[in-house]
Structure 1
């Protein structure tokens, strides 16, 4: 007997999985504006993701998953993000956290099998910039005490990736059940964007962590292969941003075609023939398509690096890192431009709360501030001018 949400089989082809993702995205889009206003936990939508089988895409078939590569998994992150970037965020982080287990801990086969068997949804409390949580030895095990912020998807999760510091300041990462005694997940996320990502705070009160739950071999960024984790994180975010931009363009297009009127000084018979409107749509198209090409190229390099496993070289890692940083900059710039300027092609009435077109900018602006692209450009400048590869960290 399988647990609710567990899926050992599914569509026979990748195309069928994409069709399933498109149907789910359309379902999410129908309620996205109302749920954005409401905030809180999207419990029904999270359960739809559980039931869809999509949470197991990146898990190889021999462990009960569907054996997708990163390129196709990230394309589905983008599809969901077009409709609802909060759900795209949670879905993308599921695969980032599974990658974290794979890259940092030798016990990953166990977690892959159990995730596929039990339909686990993973939540994030790995925030290395938040150093308030401490982990101390307690006999053969460990205890975590402290707090974490920006814990996306922790609410309604089944398992958490947790980070804490030892007394000596060493970063330790573990995988623990979300219902472990002493874990208190707070519904205190109330930001202007990404309002249903549950990216609030989590408190740990003497939470027991068994030694077998510590991801110590090779540990955080403990090898060249393990240092792919930040590149996966960057591409998850890049595809969320690109999805937001593409979703904004699609909704703006539908609004312009159905409701926008030409300005009274325009000689165009309709808004869809106004030369200024057409020019802006052309600009949006170029920005987003250039970003998509760069993003898919970076995903191909990531897949090539992923297949190398421990044979991965620093030079191959550097090539992928530069491609990921490039795509991230493009996605941020293009997404912010399209989501801000879409009102210039839809008109004053498109600012109504009912239309909800402002959510695209709010979502992207909120998300993009957590990893400033100025520092990506510094890395890219060092590469372009001095041939210096980005230094592996949790953000590069």
Structure 2
């Protein structure tokens, strides 16, 4: 289907996102069933200008801060968390090159991305160490395989990680997806997030130029570069919130339009049932809580991001605690709501054609990205001993 585009509009990014989301919602059920690549939807995002959202204005972008960018992510995730996912990871890759590289590297990439509507994909899975990097005189060569490469298919650029063959050093690079030796494998067929193309990428003797290596300051090298992990966690948090908000909206519709009061209630309208109202009260309290926590964490992240290399370890640590609290809360509230939504939507909501279980499937798949038990342990260490989480690619 043809999607609305916003190349000549004066609408705000959030208004553009809402227009796109309204269109994406019409095919979300069908596409969840099909899986595969949402090519038309990705192209609609390209034409909308939202791929430029987090790029500063001086490089051709829209200049949005992280709080506003994440609100757009949440808006898209309400109707289609796969699209929200690949869109958010695109901006995470842009942040990564900014945090890991020198201006003479990331500035041209920003300008090209804004000008040519590039989509960035992910092939930086730190836990998958099968890709090795061999160094030659003035260039490098990558060979191996990466899993969980969200958004790699139909991207123009990839952020790739590898292990140095000789020194076991962790290496990241930004490379064109179409480069010789890169093969994207369409092997993603999970129960949720079915259109994120989070499958595998093969690298067979892929040449990497020295200028494509993100080595200064590099990942996890300074408090500022360590913000990448916190942005990634906050992106997941906002995707979870979007999924929960979408589930809430669907449940509300079916409660008011399809569900019937239980015969023992003696009521003529289900909206008068005190048990139903109790469920909705709990849902709303949960959503309000996680929205508040996520917005507060985003504001702290923005303040830290603006500090640049002046950012201290303690300031970074404060953001880490705020992000972890928001993520744990969003996980718990989201999984609860996407399961209990059927208690208020009624038996008709389980019709297979509606695929309302996709909210739980998407959230359950996504929340396994990294265990919240370890987030809670880090928060316990902070609460008891006031030690900030140790920076890793997941905290």
**Which TM-score bucket, shorter chain as reference?**
over 0.9
The match for 1:41 is 37
- Structure 1 distance, partners of 2:286, 2:133, is 45
- Structure 1 distance, partners of 2:170, 2:306, is 27
The match for 2:70 is 74
Instruction: List alignment gaps of at least 5 residues for structure 1.
Output: 1-5
- Structure 2 distance, partners of 1:339, 1:41, is 25
- Structure 2 distance, partners of 1:236, 1:268, is 43
Partner residue of 1:89 out of 76, 85, 92: 85
The match for 1:290 is 289
Q: Give the RMSD, CA atoms, in angstroms.
A: 1.2
The match for 2:258 is 259
- Cα shift at 1:11: 5.3
Question: What does residue range 196-215 of structure 1 map to in structure 2 within 5 Å?
Answer: 196-215=195-214
> What's the TM-score, normalizing by structure 2?
0.97
SS of the residue 2:27 aligns to: helix
- Please give the per-residue CA displacement for 1:6-54, whole angstroms capped at 9, x wherever unaligned: 99x8655xx7221111010111111101100000000000000101100
Partner residue of 1:17 out of 10, 13, 36: 13
SS of the residue 2:183 aligns to: strand
Does the 8 Å contact 1:11/1:17 carry over to 2?
Answer: no
Question: What does residue range 376-387 of structure 1 map to in structure 2 within 5 Å?
Answer: 376-387=375-386
Question: What does residue range 293-308 of structure 1 map to in structure 2 within 5 Å?
Answer: 293-308=292-307
Question: What does residue range 125-144 of structure 1 map to in structure 2 within 5 Å?
Answer: 125-144=123-142
- Cα shift at 1:354: 1.5
- Please give the per-residue CA displacement for 1:177-229, whole angstroms capped at 9, x wherever unaligned: 00000001011100000000000000100011111100011011121100000
- Structure 2 distance, partners of 1:10, 1:324, is 36
- Please give the per-residue CA displacement for 1:106-156, whole angstroms capped at 9, x wherever unaligned: 111111111001110000000000000000013311110000000000000
Tell me which stretches of 4 or more aligned residues in structure 1 moved more than 4 Å: 9-12
The match for 1:105 is 101
The match for 1:354 is 353
Does the 8 Å contact 2:122/2:151 carry over to 1?
Answer: yes
SS of the residue 2:223 aligns to: coil
- Structure 2 distance, partners of 1:19, 1:329, is 29
- Please give the per-residue CA displacement for 1:353-387, whole angstroms capped at 9, x wherever unaligned: 11211000000000101111100001100000010
- Please give the per-residue CA displacement for 1:281-334, whole angstroms capped at 9, x wherever unaligned: 110000011000000000000000000001111111111110000000000000
- Structure 2 distance, partners of 1:169, 1:282, is 53
Partner residue of 1:65 out of 61, 64, 81: 61
Partner residue of 1:150 out of 128, 142, 148: 148
Instruction: List alignment gaps of at least 5 residues for structure 2.
Output: none
- Change over 3 Å in CA distance of 1:320–1:181 after alignment to 2: same
1:218 and 2:217 equivalent? yes
Partner residue of 1:118 out of 116, 119, 143: 116
- Structure 2 distance, partners of 1:223, 1:267, is 64
- Structure 2 distance, partners of 1:272, 1:39, is 36
Partner residue of 2:27 out of 14, 26, 31: 31
- Structure 1 distance, partners of 2:375, 2:140, is 36
- Structure 2 distance, partners of 1:306, 1:80, is 24
SS of the residue 2:74 aligns to: helix
SS of the residue 1:156 aligns to: coil
> What's the TM-score, normalizing by structure 1?
0.96
- Structure 1 distance, partners of 2:321, 2:277, is 34
